Structure 1
Amino acid sequence: MRQLSPRATLHTIGCRLNQAETALLADRLKRDGYTLVEFGHPTDLLVLNTCSVTVGAESDCRHLVRRTLRHSPHAFVAVTGCYAQTGAEALRRVPGIDLIVGTQYKMHLPDYLPTPATLQKPAEPQVLHARSIDREDFVLPGTGDYEATRANLKIQDGCNFMCSFCIIPFARGHERSRRLDDILREAQALVARGHQELVLTGVNIGQFHQGTHSLLDLIQQLEQVAGVERIRISSIEPTTIPMELLDYMATSSKLCRYLHVPLQSGDDRILKAMNRRYTVREYVSFIEQAVRSVPDLGLGTDVMVGFPGEGEQEFANTLALASDLPFFYCHVFSFSKRPSTAAARMRNTVHSAEVKARSRTLSELSRAKRLAFYQKHIGRRVKVLFESRDVTGRWTGLTGNYIRVAVSAPEDLSNCLRDVTITGAMDGLALGHLAKGDPLS
């Protein structure tokens, strides 16, 4: 017999944009009468928001379905996200999946579920899929449901850049922007729920435009929303960041001094093969300009290893550039052959053992650079938006430039923005105490 209030589990594989969309689906399911339970607990409904960036992400999807059905064999399983768009036929063959919802219908997934009272597994899976994806500006239903102090705010979708390794244009379609009034509506609702930091997210957010309104115009309007303390830009392409945005970041009290700017490779030949829109010199010029313009900028990047044709010299060029530039972390990931992409047809693949070795080398560099960046802040007073206690009982949170800070304090600091003096640093964490003059110090 089902519970009076059916249970729903939502699980996200992949990027911050997927997380934002899952949060919107969670909000709708709660309004429809579901009780949300954590993944791994018995449930009546599993909504799996998938990724197709790598082969591993697709494998994770199939594993998570099997894992859920082991403890909840009668659970209705709905799969959406990028893998549902690019691999619908493969998902149709996975035992236990009941509903497959492609990109065009994703945000209306709850409309295609049986009613909570009649939630039963069908004999055959239903597939809602369209090759053509809308190109028009869009609105989104509801307000993202988040437990964290920070909330993701989707402002854009799709991409026209067509990097040779990337399947996302096939999974999400052409670039399009969310209507400005709808972004502001959700921002106001998120603040009303207590979120002080909004993280702007999309596939290619630097391409956001609404009529004559640019990304900078959007940020300036979001800063006027009462209760917004911080606005953070998520991953953004270097060729889409105007000087005006850097100048504004340098003076704004609410726009975080943080940029995650994908590099992918430090070799011009590989960048050209990737169909990236810059040379090494152009990328370096942008980074130097950003660091000059924005004091104490927190700078992160993505680096791909193992792209076809990446030999020892090409990797050495990437390693040297990643070492020289003032990143304080590198998100390192391996090339994954994706169907329909230009890179899938390229030869001169890199041996998996070499890919792993290169990944380890870059990851070690990233850890060292993060520690050095944190150590540079010892003795400084910074503002930290606290989130939760860690396993040791310390309160942890983030600075505007993305340093994770831990302090010991008996008070409840959850969702509190406090001044902290940084006193030390360790791998992945800065240590500090509430600054003198703070009400709780």
Structure 2
Amino acid sequence: MKKVAFYTLGCKLNFSETSSISRIFQERGFEKVNFEDRADIYVINTCSVTDNADKKCRKVVKEALKHSPDAFITIVGCYAQLKPEEISNIPGVDAVLGAAEKFQLVDILDGFVKKDKPQVHASAISEANTFHNAYSIGDRTRTFLKVQDGCDYSCSFCTIPLARGKSRSQTISSVVNSAQEIAASGVKEIVLTGVNLGDFGILPGQGRQQTFYHLIQQLDHEVTQIDRFRISSIEPNLLTNEIIRFVAQSQRFVPHFHIPLQSGSNKILKLMRRRYQRELYRERVMEIKKVMPHACIGVDVIVGFPGETDEDFIDTYNFLNELNISYLHVFPYSERQNTKAINLQGSVPLGERNRRANMLRILSEKKKRFFYEQHVGYETTVLFEADVTNGLMEGFTNNYLRVQVKYDPILVNELKRVRLTGVNAAGLMEAEEVYAEVYQH
């Protein structure tokens, strides 16, 4: 029995796909082992969004060969689709598979036999036109369920449409079936993931048949064994008031939204080719807080975009400072080949990009601390996870407060009713149990 190990770079969607690919291997008789163990085959799922994709890929390949010098190294994922030949030249790489091929890698790489030169199987992105069901399970307490893939937007900084193809989705009935399979395994929280999640409903070859609003209605109604559904990230122009109000009254969909903004300057939003202006974003935040005062709102922001002056950045900073949001994910702009932004005038020096990013990260810490402190004395439920560090374990409230308590094996994957008592030195919530029994809806 050959042993196979996996490593994932990037987003929740990548984690869901790695987990599904690993199950394909196990169904074919392979033994899954940890990455740090000796394996016959290593599968590395790459990302093109994060900086230094090439450097990170090389490092992971090098680590795999330390564990097992003769192993067969396979690279898949977004970076593999964008730069297949470049990746094939990394020492130790045996095969590179693109977006249309990665779910067939066991068949394509029959026997995983090393050849004189690396195998490259990467079709044009137009060939990635089917939907492959994927979800993570057994890896952590929460499960990431992929319901949508690809993107039809043309943001000037983004390579995702080049790496994943056009927007396409699973049917609602198939998503419901997957959620019920996950529920049967004992998982209590499902995170819905996709490239452009709010664009759910386009079926391959059939066009738009359903909407994200219809999906969450059906999951809420039919998958009652799951205690929590979480929406991973959704574009502001697709986060309708209808969706917000539905989440507000739902017993299972949690009050947590991650909404990409990218810039608080309308001038820069236009250069980015985003499909909204900041006024719409403010309206969405205000609507959420009106119907869910305790809701957690996370924001993606890019700084140092070409053409962003000091005044534009201060415009973004002030806009975010005034918004009732909970935390920021901040990214200094990074040039990407084959994007429209790379040809824009007004490049911002790297040092200035990093300075602006640091300013927003400090603002994020202040926002997060304020959000946490608002909840001291608040009674809520926490879903505890299995990881233990220095005798402490952590879990999340429904509105995404990270809670840290003394390790107790009985708490793992359990929902407990707690009272939040304070914020500790690590910036996490402390809590005391309110009821001894496991909390149930």
Please point out which of 213, 216, 231 is paired with 1:216.
213
Please point out which of 369, 373, 376 is paired with 1:375.
373
- Give per-residue Cα distances to partners, 1:321-343, cap 9 Å, x unaligned: 12111121100111111111000
Query: What does residue 266 of structure 1 align with?
Result: 264
For 1:32, the aligned partner's letter is R
Please point out which of 314, 317, 320 is paired with 2:315.
317
Contact 1:395 1:413 in 2 (8 A): no
For 2:32, the aligned partner's letter is L
* Structure 1 residue 347, shift from structure 2 partner: 2.5
User: 2:330 and 2:23 mapped to 1: Cα distance?
Assistant: 33
Please point out which of 82, 86, 110 is paired with 1:114.
110
Matched residue of 2:110: which SS?
coil
Please point out which of 124, 132, 141 is paired with 1:131.
124
Query: What does residue 77 of structure 1 align with?
Result: 73
CA RMSD of aligned residues (A): 1.8
1:102 aligns with 2:119: no
Structure 2 CA distance for partners of 1:273 and 1:436, relative to 1, 3 Å: same
* Structure 1 residue 400, shift from structure 2 partner: 1.0
* Structure 1 residue 179, shift from structure 2 partner: 2.2
Please point out which of 362, 366, 391 is paired with 1:393.
391
1:192 aligns with 2:184: yes
User: 2:326 and 2:28 mapped to 1: Cα distance?
Assistant: 43
- Give per-residue Cα distances to partners, 1:344-394, cap 9 Å, x unaligned: 112221111111111111111111111111111000101111102531322
Structure 2 CA distance for partners of 1:57 and 1:268, relative to 1, 3 Å: same
* Structure 1 residue 241, shift from structure 2 partner: 1.2
Deviates most, 346-355 or 207-216: 207-216
Contact 1:92 1:125 in 2 (8 A): yes
TM, length-normalised to structure 2: 0.93
Please point out which of 236, 244, 247 is paired with 1:246.
244
Q: What pairs up with 1:39-58 in 2 under 5 angstroms?
A: 39-58=35-54
Give the aligned length: 432
Query: What does residue 205 of structure 2 align with?
Result: none
Matched residue of 1:91: which SS?
helix
User: 1:410 and 1:79 mapped to 2: Cα distance?
Assistant: 39
Matched residue of 1:25: which SS?
helix
Please point out which of 159, 165, 169 is paired with 1:173.
165
* Structure 1 residue 419, shift from structure 2 partner: 0.5
Please point out which of 9, 20, 35 is paired with 2:16.
20
- Give per-residue Cα distances to partners, 1:130-156, cap 9 Å, x unaligned: 114357563427x63332110000000
User: 1:329 and 1:108 mapped to 2: Cα distance?
Assistant: 39
Structure 2 CA distance for partners of 1:420 and 1:40, relative to 1, 3 Å: same
Query: What does residue 434 of structure 2 align with?
Result: 435
Matched residue of 1:98: which SS?
strand
Matched residue of 1:263: which SS?
strand
Query: What does residue 64 of structure 1 align with?
Result: 60
Contact 2:48 2:159 in 1 (8 A): yes
Query: What does residue 411 of structure 2 align with?
Result: 413
Query: What does residue 402 of structure 2 align with?
Result: 404
User: 2:37 and 2:27 mapped to 1: Cα distance?
Assistant: 21
User: 1:411 and 1:301 mapped to 2: Cα distance?
Assistant: 34
Matched residue of 1:433: which SS?
strand
Query: What does residue 275 of structure 1 align with?
Result: 273
1:140 aligns with 2:139: no
- Give per-residue Cα distances to partners, 1:30-75, cap 9 Å, x unaligned: 2222222222332211101111124412320122112211331111
Query: What does residue 340 of structure 1 align with?
Result: 338
Please point out which of 305, 308, 313 is paired with 1:307.
305
Q: Percent identity?
A: 38
User: 1:415 and 1:305 mapped to 2: Cα distance?
Assistant: 38
Matched residue of 1:299: which SS?
strand
Structure 2, gaps ≥5 residues long: 203-207
* Structure 1 residue 409, shift from structure 2 partner: 5.7
User: 2:73 and 2:110 mapped to 1: Cα distance?
Assistant: 11
Deviates most, 376-385 or 286-295: 286-295
For 1:165, the aligned partner's letter is F
* Structure 1 residue 77, shift from structure 2 partner: 0.7
Deviates most, 149-158 or 27-36: 27-36
Please point out which of 347, 350, 368 is paired with 2:348.
350
Structure 2 CA distance for partners of 1:132 and 1:395, relative to 1, 3 Å: closer
- Give per-residue Cα distances to partners, 1:125-181, cap 9 Å, x unaligned: 11111114357563427x633321100000001111111000001111111111223
Contact 1:139 1:182 in 2 (8 A): no
| Moved beyond 3 Å, runs of 4+ | 134-137, 436-440
For 1:104, the aligned partner's letter is A
TM, length-normalised to structure 1: 0.93
1:38 aligns with 2:38: no
- Give per-residue Cα distances to partners, 1:254-287, cap 9 Å, x unaligned: 0011100011111111111111111122211221
Contact 2:172 2:218 in 1 (8 A): no
For 2:167, the aligned partner's letter is E
User: 2:438 and 2:48 mapped to 1: Cα distance?
Assistant: 47
For 1:422, the aligned partner's letter is L
